[in-house]
């Protein structure tokens, strides 16, 4: 692992969590996650966010080692979600003279997590306010809904560091040897994906800053080629496809729809589609499927009918897509129903309520096993999808 510290004055004091089973109790994180926190050592000392309570002990040890007997003057609270603010109460109790820095929303929400009277210890900042620590100066930039309403980011102008809160984060502990892009994309679309407009607003503000280093609250500190990461965020938050290809997302009860999906993959490849990704919604991680849906510009949905409605794994997926504001894509729908099929109607209902979805005109019903007429219909649908 490379040196995690930003500089002699900006020290990394976060922690890896490699034993958590599900992030936010819903997202598998096979390589864990990091809760990042930093301390700026200057004439004044500022702690930048805390960590999840799960990692509080390690974090406090690191903080104390960096402080070398000093006490923090400020705790900057950029985001109140408990994976970052879970140890605010602990730190505030340990250092009673420390001032808490946040915006009006931060302090209206703080007592909901940590009951008490915080006003006497609060320094309330707003857009553009500046906090001088000595050589280092923090300027606060509001970033509401990236990913909660109280979120703000902080720009340190001496070393040109952007403390970016959840922005530019990724799943995966820092000790994990893995590339940034895949887990950053899965993180983005599942955690922040709903808030593309707000991410765009933040990127516009950030464009006016000379940024040399990005310090997110999850994942590695970004020091080089920042245009690459900013470019990905710009693309994702505009809901533009990243790669040419198709996601075939299917759910199958007894294997017939899975067989049809495998055939659909072959057909798409035969027609020249450069990449066909598959998501078995019954078995694969749904957050991977959501990531795939946003990564590609085209998608095929294939599901049986169940209890007169949509088979639950597909229903969950559609609800995830709706909640993450899936849009700007071309989508085909294929259902399976041996009697009274209903899946296509419900899938189309979800899609018709989304923005800028181009539905392929042919909707096909498979009845049980895949037959030659089904293959012919899938050929037609593939042409519409790729055309």
Binding site for ligand FEO (CB under 6 A): 79, 81, 83-84, 147, 166, 217-218
Report d(CA 262, CA 254) in Å as an integer: 14
- Per-position b or e across 214-250, b if 16+ CB within 10 A of its CB: bbbbbbbbbeeebeebbebbbebbebebeeebbbbbb
- Under 8 Å CB-to-CB from 360, ≥6 apart: which residues? 330, 331, 332, 333, 381, 384, 385
The nearer residue to ligand FEO, 218 or 329, going by C-beta atoms, is: 218
Give just the sign of the alpha carbon dihedral 79, 69, 34, 136.
positive
The nearer residue to ligand FEO, 81 or 374, going by C-beta atoms, is: 81
Report d(CA 18, CA 77) in Å as an integer: 24
The nearer residue to ligand FEO, 82 or 368, going by C-beta atoms, is: 82
Q: Please give the backbone phi and psi of residue 137, each rounded to the nearest 5 degrees, phi first.
A: -135, 130
- Under 8 Å CB-to-CB from 38, ≥6 apart: which residues? 6, 10, 11, 12, 13, 14, 47, 48, 49, 163, 215
The nearer residue to ligand FEO, 81 or 183, going by C-beta atoms, is: 81
Nearest distance, CB of residue 18 and ligand FEO, angstroms:
17
Nearest distance, CB of residue 302 and ligand FEO, angstroms:
33
Nearest distance, CB of residue 203 and ligand FEO, angstroms:
18
Nearest distance, CB of residue 83 and ligand FEO, angstroms:
5
Residue 221's region, left for phi above 0, alpha for psi from -120 to 50, else beta, is: beta
Nearest distance, CB of residue 52 and ligand FEO, angstroms:
9
The nearer residue to ligand FEO, 62 or 218, going by C-beta atoms, is: 218
Residue 98 DSSP SS3 = coil
The nearer residue to ligand FEO, 216 or 304, going by C-beta atoms, is: 216
Nearest distance, CB of residue 4 and ligand FEO, angstroms:
18
Nearest distance, CB of residue 37 and ligand FEO, angstroms:
12
Q: Please give the backbone phi and psi of residue 308, each rounded to the nearest 5 degrees, phi first.
A: 75, 5
The nearer residue to ligand FEO, 199 or 217, going by C-beta atoms, is: 217
Closest CB to ligand FEO belongs to which residue? 81
Report d(CA 258, CA 251) in Å as an integer: 7
The nearer residue to ligand FEO, 174 or 299, going by C-beta atoms, is: 174
Shortest CA distance to 360 belongs to which of 318, 320, 313, 302?
A: 302
Shortest CA distance to 382 belongs to which of 344, 332, 336?
A: 332
**How big is the CA angle at 246 (ends 243 and 250), to the nearest 5 degrees?**
135
Nearest distance, CB of residue 166 and ligand FEO, angstroms:
4
């Amino acid at each position: 692992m490379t040196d995690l510290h930003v500089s002699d004055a900006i020290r990394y004091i976060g922690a890896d969590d490699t034993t958590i089973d599900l992030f936010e109790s819903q997202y598998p994180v096979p390589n864990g996650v990091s809760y990042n926190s930093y301390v700026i050592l200057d004439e004044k000392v500022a702690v930048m966010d805390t960590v999840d309570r799960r990692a509080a002990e390690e974090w406090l040890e690191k903080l104390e080692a960096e402080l070398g007997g000093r006490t923090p003057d400020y705790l900057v609270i950029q985001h109140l979600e408990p994976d970052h603010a879970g140890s605010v109460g602990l730190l505030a109790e340990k250092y009673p003279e420390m001032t808490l820095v946040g915006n009006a929303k931060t302090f209206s929400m703080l007592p909901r997590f940590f009951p008490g009277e915080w006003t006497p210890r609060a320094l309330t900042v707003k857009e553009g306010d500046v906090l001088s620590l000595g050589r280092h100066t923090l300027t606060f930039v509001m970033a509401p809904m990236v990913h909660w309403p109280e979120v703000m980011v902080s720009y340190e102008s001496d070393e040109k560091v952007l403390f970016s809160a959840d922005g530019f984060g990724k799943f995966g502990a820092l000790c994990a040897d893995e590339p940034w892009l895949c887990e950053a994309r899965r993180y983005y679309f599942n955690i922040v994906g709903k808030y593309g407009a707000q991410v765009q607003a933040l990127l516009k503000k950030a464009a006016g800053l000379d940024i040399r280093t990005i310090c997110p609250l999850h994942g590695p500190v970004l020091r080089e080629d920042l245009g690459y990461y900013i470019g990905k965020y710009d693309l994702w938050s505009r809901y533009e496809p990243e790669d040419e290809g198709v996601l075939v997302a299917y759910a199958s009860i007894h294997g017939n729809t899975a067989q049809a999906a495998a055939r659909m993959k072959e057909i798409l490849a035969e027609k020249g589609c450069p990449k066909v990704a598959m998501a078995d919604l019954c078995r694969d991680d749904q957050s991977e499927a959501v990531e795939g849906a946003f990564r590609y510009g085209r998608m095929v949905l294939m599901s049986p009918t169940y209890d007169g409605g949509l088979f639950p794994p597909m229903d969950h997926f559609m609800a995830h897509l709706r909640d993450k504001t899936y849009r700007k894509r071309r989508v085909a729908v294929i259902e399976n129903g041996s009697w009274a099929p209903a899946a296509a109607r419900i899938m189309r209902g979800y899609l018709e309520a989304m923005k800028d979805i181009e539905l392929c005109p042919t909707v096909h019903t498979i009845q049980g096993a895949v037959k030659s007429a089904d293959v012919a219909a899938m050929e037609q649908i593939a042409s519409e999808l790729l055309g």
